[in-house]
């Protein structure tokens, strides 16, 4: 199984944000009887709706780069999932990897993908 850290190798900030904006537009146009759910690692279901998602800055307070996050009504200040590479990912799974040669954090960001991953680590 591949995880976002494996799939984001050739993804730019613009691609992430553009896909999320398209998804958000589709979500806003859906009928209320077409509910989507995200299953958390603890098997709790979260309704994905226009009122439970929002953009969060990827780099602290820098609003230039944003990712789409999913929140629960019980805790609207802590994301339970992020929308990356056209699907929802549990926050716990974002930095997992299927690459046996990756171990620990990368100390120096040489690529935009590495910078994205370091920022996601800060969101958790």
Using CA atoms, how far apart are residues 80 and 54, in angstroms rounded to an integer?
A: 12
Q: Given this model, what pLDDT does residue 37 score? A: 95
Strand-pairing partners, residue 16, are: none
Per-residue pLDDT, 120: 53
* Residue 37, strand partner residues: 47
Rounded distance between C-alpha atoms, residue 118 and residue 107, angstroms: 9
Which pLDDT does position 64 carry in this prediction? Answer: 78
3-class SS of residue 76? coil
Residue found under tokens 């691609």: 15
| Residue stretches of the chain with pLDDT short of 70 | 1-9, 95-124
Residue-level pLDDT at 107 = 47
Three-class SS of residue 54? strand
* End-to-end Cα separation, the chain, in angstroms: 21
């Amino acid at each position: 199984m591949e995880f976002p850290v494996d799939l984001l190798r050739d993804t730019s900030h613009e691609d992430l944000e553009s896909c999320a904006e398209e998804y958000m537009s589709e979500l806003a146009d859906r009928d209320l009887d077409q509910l989507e759910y995200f299953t958390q690692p603890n098997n709790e279901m979260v309704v994905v709706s226009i009122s439970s998602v929002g953009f969060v800055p990827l780099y602290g307070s820098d609003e230039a780069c944003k990712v789409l996050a999913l929140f629960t009504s019980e805790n609207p200040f802590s994301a339970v999932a992020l929308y990356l590479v056209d699907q929802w990912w549990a926050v716990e799974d974002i930095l997992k990897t299927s690459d046996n040669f990756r171990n620990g954090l990368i100390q120096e960001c040489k690529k935009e993908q590495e910078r994205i991953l370091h920022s996601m680590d800060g969101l958790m």
